[in-house]
């Protein structure tokens, strides 16, 4: 029982809905084979639903935006055990590509079981977000985006954030060992409950054979987190849209680690 307390269990299921433009996934297939994107099938550093809401790595947003007219919806649920307190969190994300370089999103979250930590048994929140891609990943130039989101709900969940995210794909061209590496870096300025933090973060995806990716990231603490946030995991991402991921995460708010399991399907 003590080991379950020390290692929180986090289980996430994500369902994605994508129009036929993305269903082709030719750009993603080129990257999975260690090749760079083409102008007509550009795929940047985009991920899945994160702790912060906008898509990215396990914790932090990345620089990729949706293709114009594309719609992605995701649902997640995770269960955590911190000391003797068990929590269940639900999240729903919808993102729409207004243009190839501009996307908007909406995110809703409900946490049950916080108890005396916040003086209430549950908290909920709603979030609106926008992300603008300024540069494509091309030649020696990394992909660069800026974004912002505002979240409102119970006091503990109220948050405003602006961020800058960049990524660069380095093709290696070996289809059996290491196909390529995508480097991520970013900065988040956030305000929550009268506090503010300036958070720098970085991460990497190492593309292996058989559509497998090793993903890891780390963030600075500033005066906002009690622990240094980080995550490390393995993702299985097929070009046709199916994905499966496993990770260990440190969210920054508790000394306990959390185990993560996720699945995603593109339609």
Q: Note the Cα 14 to chain centre separation in Å.
A: 12
State how far the Cα of 212 lies from the Cα of 237, in Å rounded to an integer: 6
Highest mean pLDDT (candidates 15-19, 42-46, 114-118, 161-165)? 161-165
Q: Residue 166 pLDDT more than 80?
A: yes
The secondary structure of the chain in percent helix, strand, coil, rounded to multiples of 5, reads 10, 55, 35
What is residue 64's three-state secondary structure? coil
Global model pTM greater than 0.85:
no
Q: Residue 223 pLDDT more than 90?
A: no
Going by C-alpha positions, the residue among 70, 76, 77, 27 that lies closest to residue 48 is 76
What does the domain layout of the chain look like in residue ranges?
2-264
> pLDDT digit string (tens) for 239-256?
666 667 788 888 887 777
Report residue 55's pLDDT band, with 50, 70 and 90 as the boundaries.
confident
State how far the Cα of 125 lies from the Cα of 186, in Å rounded to an integer: 24
| pLDDT value of position 265 | 57
CATH number for 2-264: choose from 3.40.50.1820, 3.40.50.2300, 2.40.160.40, 3.40.50.1100.
Answer: 2.40.160.40
> pLDDT digit string (tens) for 84-136?
667 777 778 888 999 999 999 999 888 876 655 555 566 788 999 999 999 99
- 15-40 CB burial, b ≥16 within 10 A, e <16: ebebbeebeebebbbbbbebebbeee
What is residue 104's three-state secondary structure? strand
State how far the Cα of 159 lies from the Cα of 154, in Å rounded to an integer: 10
């Amino acid at each position: 029982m003590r080991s379950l307390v020390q290692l929180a269990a986090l289980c996430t299921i994500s369902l994605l809905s994508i129009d036929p433009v993305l269903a082709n996934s030719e750009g993603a297939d080129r990257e999975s084979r260690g090749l760079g994107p083409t102008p007509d099938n550009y795929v940047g550093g985009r991920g899945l639903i994160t702790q912060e809401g906008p898509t990215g790595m396990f914790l932090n947003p990345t620089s990729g935006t949706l293709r114009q007219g594309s719609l992605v919806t995701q649902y997640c649920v995770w269960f955590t055990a911190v000391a003797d307190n068990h929590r269940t969190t639900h999240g729903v994300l919808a993102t729409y590509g207004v243009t190839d370089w501009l996307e908007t999103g909406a995110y809703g979250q409900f946490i049950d079981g916080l108890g005396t930590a916040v003086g209430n048994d549950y908290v909920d929140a709603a979030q609106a977000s926008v992300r603008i891609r300024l540069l494509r990943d091309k030649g020696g130039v990394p992909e660069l985006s800026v974004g912002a989101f505002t979240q409102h709900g119970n006091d503990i969940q109220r948050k405003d954030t602006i961020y800058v995210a960049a990524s660069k794909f380095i093709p290696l061209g070996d289809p059996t060992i290491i196909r390529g590496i995508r480097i991520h870096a970013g900065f988040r300025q956030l305000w929550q409950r009268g506090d503010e933090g300036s958070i720098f973060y970085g991460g990497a995806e190492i593309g292996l054979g058989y559509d497998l990716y090793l993903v890891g990231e780390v963030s600075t603490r500033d005066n906002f987190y009690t622990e240094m946030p980080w995550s490390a995991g393995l993702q299985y991402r097929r070009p046709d849209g199916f994905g499966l991921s496993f990770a260990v995460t440190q969210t920054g708010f508790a000394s306990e680690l959390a185990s993560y399991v996720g699945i995603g399907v593109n339609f």
